Structure 1
Amino acid sequence: MKSSLSDIKAISFDVDGTLWDFEDALRRGLEAALREVRVIDPEGTEGLTVDHLDQAWMVERDRQWGTITDLVKLRHDAMRRAFAGIDTPDKDLTNRATDAYLEERNRNSRPFDDVVPGLEALHGMYTLGTLTNGSMRPERLGLEMFFDFIVMSVEHGGIEKPDPRIFEIAVREACCEPHELLHVGDHIEYDVRGANDAGVRSVWLNRIGESSSSDVRPDLEVTSLSELADSLLGIKTH
């Protein structure tokens, strides 16, 4: 810990990878999309893989970076890009693949096991909110009762972490000063660097205990929200 966090009044949480297992749901969703298009056109889609769909997403995301205001449309655009070389009479291929992806992803949307206990411990002691580049809202995870504010980049002109401006919006929503907001996230660049650059305090949620070669340093590193709650409650009582 770089310095005391005793002056923290509010906490913002990244959502994807922090509150829920986005990567697992993403993989399941993309696999469902592949199953759907293989039923429609087995021959034309035979060589497609999850990696192809993921790569198309990254290309489309980079192309639209800074202007993204509809993540479902972005996913649809990425699917269309992935299927661009497929000659099929079914013009609904992209729509059906996108629908299959979203249905399966949403079916597998649930919080990590440590999230509810961690939020229960922090709720009432701090103003809590979410700050995400994604589309997942707390109510879809059954977590809406814990949060006082929600900041989504798609609702602010596509301004995304690590842009300091999105953290400044979170500070305003939390009704505090930058140094009184603590941001928690699993991405060392988007979450920790972004928070640091905005003058916001930072926590790296390092669930798998990976090492980082980045020069970015968080105020605190934890492996779960339960550990975060224990650390902050320990500070509160001293």
Structure 2
Amino acid sequence: MDAAVNNLRGAAQGLDLSRVQAISLDLDDTLWPVWPTIERAEQALAGWLAQHAPATARLVGDAQALRAIRVRMQTLRPDLKLDLSALRRESIRMALTQAGDDPALAEPAFEHFFDHRQRVDLFDGVHETLQFLSQRYTVVALSNGNADVQRVGIGQYFSASLSAPSLGVAKPDARMFEMAADAAGVAPQALLHVGDDAALDVRGARRAGLQAVWFNPLREGWPYPAEPGPQAEVTSLAALRRLWG
């Protein structure tokens, strides 16, 4: 991204709002910080295992041990690489089996984890921004992850919620953005994508023919690391709303 855009955070440098007929939004690290959420969910899972599968709880005594099992599961089941829920569930099942506990406990254990995974701390202004956008455009959630907008409590703002597991492709694959445009009922050139990841969200969207806004709240001051760059960069959801004046 050139210096002019980098210095005009939140300014619509190159952004043509007259083209925009629909919005697609990333979820994790765009509407909430994801890693604190995952850490709390893993702590909740550890507590559940301690109560219902103590041998497994001892085997995976910390989050790092369970993550190591998940890395091994990724190697064993490459077919699950796009489905984070299935990958997590089968990793829990592997841990249960290795510890000698009932592998059927993987289902309720995962549901406990997944329930806590939806308990996110929204960034400031999420409801105001989603209401602002949804009153003007069709809004589609577009995520590589497994957040559920209904369970998070923001589903009312979205006409569709698309994820890598449901589509069989993941950002930055152009097909994912094309499917988002199709879900919104517009051509890709009329879809504006907003996301935090420079490669997955911005470069992927631009290469698929979309306009893109880089949501960059946690790394303010970093230069844009990939090309093609975004039409605009914002460091808050309030700044995103200000793109419309």
User: Following superposition of structure 1 onto structure 2, how do residues 1-238 of structure 1 map, counting pairs within 5 Å?
Assistant: 1=5, 3-6=14-17, 7-39=19-51, 40-41=53-54, 45=58, 48-61=61-74, 64=77, 71-82=84-95, 85-86=98-99, 88-92=100-104, 94-106=106-118, 108-156=119-167, 158-210=168-220, 211=222, 214-216=225-227, 217-231=229-243, 233-234=244-245
Q: Any gaps of 5 or more consecutive residues in structure 2? A: 6-12
What is the one-letter code of the residue matched to 2:157?
F
Alpha-carbon offset, residue 142 of structure 1 = 2.2
Q: Report the residue type matching 1:152 in the other structure.
A: S
Instruction: State the TM-score, normalized to the length of structure 1.
Output: 0.82
Q: Which whole-Å deviations, capped at 9, do the CAs of 1:197-229 have from their partners, x for residues lacking one?
A: 211111111121252572232221112222111
- Bigger mean CA deviation after superposition, 30-39 or 114-123: 30-39
Any idea what SS the aligned residue of 1:45 has? helix
Deviation at 1:43?
8.7
Percent of aligned positions with the same letter in both sequences? 30
Residue 24 of structure 2 aligns to a residue whose secondary structure is: strand
Q: Distance in 1 between matches of 2:80 and 2:56?
A: 36
Q: 2:36 and 2:207 mapped to 1: Cα distance?
A: 30
- The normalised TM-score by structure 2 is 0.80
Higher alpha-carbon deviation: 171-180 or 188-197: 171-180
Structure with greater helix percent? 2
Moved more, 61-70 or 162-171: 61-70
Q: Residue 28 and residue 13 in structure 1: after superposition, are their counterparts in 2 closer, same or farther (change >3 A)?
A: same
Residue by residue, what CA displacement relative to the aligned partner does 1:123-167 show, whole Å, maximum 9, x if unpaired? 2222211111222232222222222232222222x2111111111
The 1:69/1:44 distance shift into structure 2, 3 A limit, reads closer
Q: What is the CA–CA distance in structure 2 between the aligned matches of 1:165 and 1:66, rounded to whole Å?
A: 19
